[in-house]
Chain A
Amino acid sequence: MSLFRKIRRHAAVARGDFGAMFRDVEIPPLPAAISRLLAEVNHPEPDIERLAKLISSSPGLAAKVIKTVNSALYGLRVPVDNVKRAVTLLGLEQVRTLALSFATMEALPTPETELFNHTTFWTDSLLRATMARSLAEKDYREQREQIFTVSLLADLAIPVLLDSWSDYYLPVFAEWQSAEGSLASIEREHFQWDHGQAGAWILQSWGFPDDLVCCLACHTLNRDEMEESGLGGSPVVPVAVASMIPSVVNAKLEDILSFCHAVQRWLGLERQDLVEILDDVRLSLTDVLDIFDLPDNSATYVVEMLSEVAEQSADPEVS
């Protein structure tokens, strides 16, 4: 590597200049069909007929849409076998979430390192997204689907950084896996930026609205930093709380307790509310994971652990 190129790379990392960092990297674009689909969904008067055609042009997505509507989540007596009917039943917000989730899973690279597991990554992401959506039920009902989307994409920079900037990022990722503390805090120590900001830049380059970009960038902030940024009562909060759920392969009791405390302190929910939310998450998670062909045992185990801790502390006799 030439000295000039080395200096340029160092400068981009040191300044957190994601524009320069990702300029020579192939950030996977959203597939054209998905971009057109999102444009149609975001249209003030979306045409369901056209939407169905766009979904049908992506066989993988069409299958996911039909699988979703036929899942236990919807409890239909007669299975649906055509995309247009599925779109009508699902609603536009659900279609958008599904399209984005599917597109991101397809587009993101799978880094060639044993430290990164594709299945675990997406299981964690879907668990956190499902949890964020349920946590948003009370105070952010209108933004539930956006919160699901942001939470699902919260860590999207990790595979990109591991794939394209592995010489800088892999040691940091390895350090996080073998040490205490959050990934964001270790990243900040090394680079003065974190994967939330890098992910937000990717989301911005995909043309996502500013509020979602901001939510993603800020999900790694602590409560004080969030208040300082004026985002205390914003949809960032449920995303940030859900991101505290430990990974399904490394769930520790102290992390689970931190999450439960955050639910109480950040969102003002009681332990009993959390128990109910966890019941809701457990019900929908199996279907959500099934839609994306991911195994549900490890995620269900984490939810059960969470429920156990929440129930114990919700029980007045125990507390």
Chain B
Amino acid sequence: MNNHRVRYPQQSFLYRLVAFFSRLQLSYLLRNSRHQRLLQLLFIFVAGATALGIISILAFMTNLPLLFPQLGPSAFILFYTPMSEQASPRNVLLSHLLAVGIGLLSLWLCAQLFPDVHLTDSPVLNWQREVVVASSMGLACLLMVVFRCVHPPAAASALIAALGYLESPAHVLGIAAAVVLLLLEALFFNRLVGGLPYPTWRFDPKVARNFGELAGIPANEITFWRQAAMKTFASRGS
């Protein structure tokens, strides 16, 4: 036994450095701090503000149409319940693209059927526009459920497209680019800053069940043993 060569990677300088920084990540702090609520609030504030701030700056610098109202609720879900199915990159990207597609398709179909009707003038509201809005909304909701890519803020994308606010292909590409940017920011904040196993594409329920509120599971739905099991993974350092 004495001949056994004892090596301790955990005593190296690099380990200590990595340990110091990785123990500042949200997932570690949430497991081990008594100020969980405060930490979560701080994270959502910093991540939300920075994410939308970066997109705004890019829009300003490039003069590209990257700012859309639905990015707000999307960012909220991505940073408040990052481990939920609704926040997975698959759901966010597919739902927004699907919703924009449905909104534009409804608008185009209506324009073919009623060529003389104003469908994109914001002050004018006629029954044809109402049909376009209602059908886009209904179809977007239906298809999000059918394709299992539910992400509620995407419904606003359908509405924006159906109301004719996307006036050129640049606007459509702008929405897609903004959603991709937001997802890249979510990957950065949730994985690197948060230390969370945020999915790169599809949601994993087995992983998410350990994250309670971060996975969108209401506190009152967590059983005593689930809560105890989640707590058992807290640090046991002296």
B226 at the interface (CB under 8 A from A): yes
Of residues 172 through 197 on chain A, the ones whose CB sits less than 8 Å from some CB of chain B are 174-175, 177-178, 184, 188-194, 197
**What's the dominant secondary structure at chain A's contact region?**
helix
Contact between A10 and B7, CB atoms less than 8 A apart: no
Kindly count the residue-residue contacts between A and B in the assembled complex, taking CB atoms under 8 Å apart.
Answer: 108
Specify the chain A residue showing the minimal Cβ separation from B5: A171
Q: Is B113 an interface residue (CB 8 A)?
A: no
The interface size bin for chain B is 35 or more
Contacting pair B22 A214 (CB below 8 A): no
- List A146-184 residues whose CB lies under 8 Å from chain B: 167-168, 170-171, 174-175, 177-178, 184
The answer to whether B232 and A200 touch across the interface, beta carbons within 8 angstroms, is yes
Nearest CB in chain B to that of A192: its residue: B237
Chain B residues with CB under 8 Å of A213's CB are: 229, 232
A43 within 8 A of B: no
| Beta-carbon contact of B27 and A15 below 8 Å | yes
Q: Which chain B residues in 141-198 approach chain A with CB under 8 Å?
A: 195, 197
User: Does chain B have a CB within 8 A of A249?
Assistant: no
| Contact assessment for A192 and B228 in the assembled complex, using a CB-CB cutoff below 8 Å | no
- With beta carbons under 8 angstroms apart, the residue of A177, A188, A211 that contacts B237 is A188
Say which residue of A6, A7, A13 sits within 8 Å of B10 (CB atoms).
A13
Binary interface encoding of chain B residues 122-155 relative to chain A, with 1 for a CB under 8 A from any of its CBs, else 0: 0000000000000000000000000000000000
Q: Which residues of A contact B228 (CB under 8 A)?
A: 210, 214, 218, 229-231
Please tell me if B18 contacts chain A, counting CB pairs below 8 Å: yes
Within 8 A of A (CB), among B200-238: 206-207, 210, 223, 225-226, 228-229, 231-233, 235-238
CA distance A41 to B233 in the complex (A): 29
Are B9 and A168 in contact, CB atoms less than 8 angstroms apart? yes
Q: Inside 8 A of B206's CB, which chain A residues have their CB? A: 205
Known pairs A214-B225, A214-B229; A193 contacts B236 (CB<8 A): yes
**Which residues from A are CB-within-8-Å of B61?**
none
B38 within 8 A of partner (CB): no
Contact A167 B236, beta carbon cutoff 8 Å:
no
Is B4 located at the chain interface by the 8 A CB criterion?
A: yes
| A189 touches which of B4, B23, B195, B238 (Cβ 8 Å) | B238
Tell me if B49 counts as interface (CB < 8 A to partner A): no
A148 to chain B, nearest CB (A): 19
Which residue, of B197, B206, B225, B232, has the highest number of chain A Cβ atoms within 10 A?
B232
Most-contacted residue by chain A among B2, B4, B28 (CB, 10 A):
B4
Q: How far is the CB of A222 from chain B (nearest CB, A)?
A: 11
Is B9 a contact of A167 with CB atoms below 8 Å?
A: yes
- Shortest Cβ distance from B114 into chain A, in angstroms? 55
- For B223, the closest partner residue in chain A by CB is A210
- Asked if A20 CB lies within 8 Å of chain B CBs, one says yes
Write 14 A-B pairs (CB below 8 A) sorted by A numbering: A7-B18, A10-B9, A10-B10, A10-B15, A10-B22, A14-B10, A14-B22, A15-B195, A170-B4, A188-B236, A209-B225, A210-B223, A214-B229, A230-B228
Q: Which residues of B contact A (CB under 8 A)?
A: 1-2, 4, 6-10, 14-15, 18-19, 21-23, 25, 27-28, 195, 197, 206-207, 210, 223, 225-226, 228-229, 231-233, 235-238
Chain A residues in the interface with B (C-beta under 8 A) = 6-7, 10-11, 13-20, 114-115, 167-168, 170-171, 174-175, 177-178, 184, 188-194, 197, 200-201, 204-205, 209-211, 213-214, 217-218, 229-231
